[in-house]
Structure 1
Amino acid sequence: GSAGDADAGSFDPPDASEADGGSTIIPAQPQPPQKSPPPPPPSPRLETKLAGASAAAPADGSDFLADLVALERKIEDGVHAFSLLSVPLAAGKREIRGAWGELSRKFHPDALKGPHRELRERVSAVFAALSEAHQVLGDADQRAKLKESIEKGEHESKKDGRDATATARAVFQSELLAKEADKLLRANRFDRALAQYREAATYNPDEPDLRAAIIWCEYQVSDKGGDAMAQARAALDAIIEEAPKLARAHYFLGFVLVDQGSPHIAIETFRRAARLDARLIDAERQARALEMRVGRTPLSSTAPNKGKIGGIKGLFGKK
């Protein structure tokens, strides 16, 4: 089953010129003056291309690099969020959003093209710091507290700036690595996915989602014997106790339960995963397939035929 199966291809409605484009002759009669129809909105694909081009284009000259260096110096100095986004202390939500929008378009690492990809690591670090600053200023309470501490001279630049930036950078790097790991997992490359997840966890070791993925990949590359099943089940149970709403931990556990010969518990576990995340449509498929199979032939304690019950492909279409 595949979560991606649910994503039907997008349909672009005809623009105004297509909708009005007929040759039918209307009998002459007084008509009110017609307003010109508004231009159709650009397609998402075009917007994406334009956004990428606008962000990548400055990298061909010296302005982009100069701005990058200036931001790196600000981060190194541990400036506060207002300074990093270049907005005044009195800035409101709209002004902050505008500054963030401009900077994020320019310094998003995915916008780097061609020979400038060697800047990706530096740009990623700057983008993470900008994201952290925007998160702080986007919250009215945090913004007010920071403003007050700055006005009182209580702001500690190195602590508030560099440490927070390091944390944001680590989380961002972890997410980039996890995205690559998810692609490998979709392709059932469990060994390579495991290496990527482990590297991602070095940046964000307390993230339950990463730990669940690591447990699942470790189980997949194991001999799937009784000990491996028991260890995987216990580890996933522990994560679910810590993060009960983590859908894919329940999803992974469902497969382990099937391997242990506990289809009825597995059915409920898959259903719980589907309820927690509607995008996990394969979880519901697994539950239905199990119900049909159990109704015909009771499962033994040996691992089920995964070819009949399905696989985990498509699990991570959301990332």
Structure 2
Amino acid sequence: MEEVPTSVLSAERCHLGEGPTYDAATDTAWWFDIRERRLFEHHFADGRTMVHSLPKMASALARIDGERQLILTEDGLYIRQVADGAMALFAPLEADNPVTRSNDARVHPSGTFWLGTMGRRAENGAGAIYALHRGRITLLYPGITIPNAICFSPNGDIGYFADTATNVLYRVPLDASTGLPAGDPVALIKHDGAGGLDGAIVDADGMIWNARWGGGCVDIYDPDGRRRRSLRVPATQSSCPAFVGRDFSRVLVTSAWQDMDEAQRAADPEHGKTFLFEAGARGRAEPDVKLS
């Protein structure tokens, strides 16, 4: 396990920290505490972190433009005004299914938004992965228990996703111009050992940075699925990374204390905090989502 300089970006403990993203235009990081219906906003320029209460559980955010964000919630996609936090429904997603909620998501370089849902109690096969393309939501992969690690190659011709329940990361060829599948997924990584595949990002060199839930680390894989590095995270339930900073050289990592009893939390004193790695990464900006 490799140690890199690590600091606590936010000591506010997240029940289920997830969905970090970075707005390079404003030098601001955003992430969620899904279970507690909270949205975090961190300004790197002055070190301020604000916490916004949400009306629903939400798990992912994409930038539309300087004034608006697209938020993935337990019952659909909402447009959020950055200035005042006002939210308006853009499109429902499994709103008539009380079993499921939203989970992992990421924007493809084309502006298409891949979205994951899962059972609120991780019911077997209850989740799915969808794509929001040109304003329309299309089902891509049904029957997934815990969709995670949605991310894309730098030029957009490859997509990745995982089912944490089976600990398999899949690779799928994509139409780079649309972000939609151009072939069938194939298993790229079958993780064995401690922890499970959680959120992931891809750097400018095509390396996959995957947070290992229960493993207290971020594993870095090459495009052929070979693990090259493992960076230690101070909390056991590391959940998702994001490249941050004007040069995208640092990595924000969320964590969680979900399903940990009092003794487990005492043994994991940094549980639920949000961390910043001085990783010397070659990251890249998250693209804006296109609504039409």
- Comparing both structures, which one devotes a greater share of its residues to strand? 2
Measured against the shorter chain, the TM-score band is under 0.3
- Comparing both structures, which one devotes a greater share of its residues to helix? 1
Larger radius of gyration: 1
Taking structure 2 as the reference length, the TM-score comes to 0.26
Taking structure 1 as the reference length, the TM-score comes to 0.24
